Amino acid sequence: MKQFLKFVLASIAGTIISGILLFVILIIFIGGAISTAMSDFDQSGKVTKVEDNTILHLTLDQPITDRGPQDQFNFDFGPFKTISNVGLNQILENIEKAKNDDKITGIFLDISFLNAGMGTVEEIRNKLQDFKSSEKWIISYSEVYSQKAYYLASVSDEIFIYPEGVLDFRGLNTNIAFLKGTMEKLEIEPQIIRGSNNKFKSAVEPFILDEMSQANRAQTEQWMGSIWSNMLAQIAASRGIGVNELQAMADSYEIQDAQDAVANGLATKTKYYDEVLAHLKFKTETEEEDDLKSVSLGKYIKAPKPKKDGDFSLDYKKDKIAVVYASGAIASGESADDAIGSETFAKAIRDARRDTAIKAIVLRVNSGGGSALASDVIWRETSLAKEVKPLVVSMGDVAASGGYYIAADADEIFAMPNTITGSIGVFGILPNMKGFFNNKLGMTFDGVKTGKFADFGELTRPLTDAEYAILQKSVDRIYDVFLERVSDGRSITKEEVDEIGQGRVWSGVNAMDIQLVDRLGGLEDAIARAAELAEITDYTVRDLPKRKDPFQKLLEDLNAEVSLQLLKRNFGDNAQMINSYKEIQEVQRMSGVQARLPYTVVIE
């Protein structure tokens, strides 16, 4: 008994000590986060002060999401590090602020690789182009320009590259991981149900093929070719080089080093970083012995917006436009940062509809879709909102399948030329894992049921013909509803929607040609159009849904970082294995009929 009490007391003591240690570590994390966050403020606690003749220094080295956090909590503690994502809304707003800020003399674009989609990069590039209308300059520099980074930098007045650096210019490429072999090795049978006419619904191909189908290859060549053509046209206009000449450079892989980039007009000069800084001092008339005055985006976000008279003050307006951010996969229930929960978003749109101060709604969509049922729940709220006030959609990098479903009933739809959209089609996947359980794990199953279909949906056996027929009927019915939603929203016949549907993917440019999109433009264009439709000129923007508490988000980021470190320790750089495993998990998580792109399109 004494021994038992000894172990119990030791266990309790250990728990208390562990709790104390956890509390101490948590305090350190919080202190580091607060310290870092407060570093963006001056010692008096006021917002960031910008001095005269200051350069806005843009690195854009963090993941760029549609909507940035209100509070930046960044910390670096041992092996764990989290950095708040920067939002496209923050980037656009602060470039606009810098354009009108007499204290900002120019932008130093210090970039290499961009963690952003093509639509996002296009929006930032357009905003930088607009910044130049203030007769302020943009100078870019990098040791290595990725294609996305160079596309963004091509808008600059001067483009500098490290003498031994690299500028990547060879055309776009996308690679899809096919998991048929993986499924076969694991003895998992992906049972696919899709509309008989959905020949372009390539979402299921990674699970049943080992290469692209001809239909998918044809559509991918079309939308990717459209994106590449747009990039070439924009670079050609900025650099004064012909489109055909640029294409020839890419086809011959002519740009192999920094000197090639300069010789062919893609870059201005080769310079070391210290030489770039000296050039910036020359541009700002800064004495050689003095430091450059510069402000990072993270700090400039906290600088007040200048008024035309030069006085800084907050401006409150009665009328509002709600921007509802819908990013990630669509699912039923509550939202997460990387998922669109139907309950959360339906409520956000409903609240915006009922709020009399909100005169118009902009739905910002960045989603490859998900649950067809959840998409319809959100669609219903957009339909009700449209009856009360203007509803405009702004498409980001991707607004396809379920992402298009929730956008279809808007008054007007904006997309970027590089947006991936369409994919009007549905499918269902139910993995049969009998072989995996039996032959890999040695598990067998048996049971009792009181009805013929009582065990319908079990993963431990294959579907029967009758069950296949039931699922096929459900998929066909939901596809027909999808066609109706688009037909009603876009004022075209169901037959016309089906002709451009069938799961086919389009670029923003192509989508406008076939009436799936009304205008080419970004988030700011959509907001301006919503204001015009609402007949208001003096308004503020309210972001919805409400964000999580910053401290809760900090803990979630920490948990995600710990998980990432454990994955790296166990798998090293074997990213393909991890991605394959995640895709298999994605199949298992799919509930009901899907309107989605289950694999991520990454364009390099």
Catalytic residue positions? 201, 401
| Measured CA angle at 571 (ends 566, 572), to 5 deg | 95
Which residue matches tokens 């203030």?
Answer: 134
> For the chain, how far is it from start to end, CA to CA, in angstroms?
67
The overall longest dimension of the chain from CA atoms, in Å, is 89
In whole angstroms, give the CA distance from residue 148 to residue 173.
Answer: 12
In whole angstroms, give the CA distance from residue 335 to residue 342.
Answer: 7
Helix (H) or strand (E) holding 260: helix 258-263
Task: Compute the radius of gyration of the chain from its Cα atoms.
Answer: 27
Residues 393, 370: contact at Cβ < 8 Å? no
Omega before residue 598 within 30° of 0, cis: no
Conformational region of residue 401, where left means phi above 0, alpha means psi within -120 to 50, and beta covers everything else: left
* Beta bridge partners of residue 137, listed in sequence order: 106
Helix axes 550-571, 2-38, angle to 10 degrees: 110
CA distances from 91 to 94, 208, 573 (A): 5, 41, 32
Q: Is 249 helix (H, G, I), strand (E, B) or coil?
A: helix
CA distances from 217 to 173, 179, 202, 205 (A): 12, 17, 10, 11
Contacts of 282 (CB under 8 A, 6+ apart): none
Which residue matches tokens 């991981």?
Answer: 177
In whole angstroms, give the CA distance from residue 416 to residue 566.
Answer: 38
In whole angstroms, give the CA distance from residue 92 to residue 89.
Answer: 5
Burial 336-354 (b: 16+ CB within 10 A, else e): ebebbbbebbbbbbebbbe
Handedness of CA 9, 10, 14, 15 (dihedral sign): negative
Alpha helices in 338-464 (DSSP H): 342-354, 372-388, 402-405, 434-435
Residues 562, 573: contact at Cβ < 8 Å? no
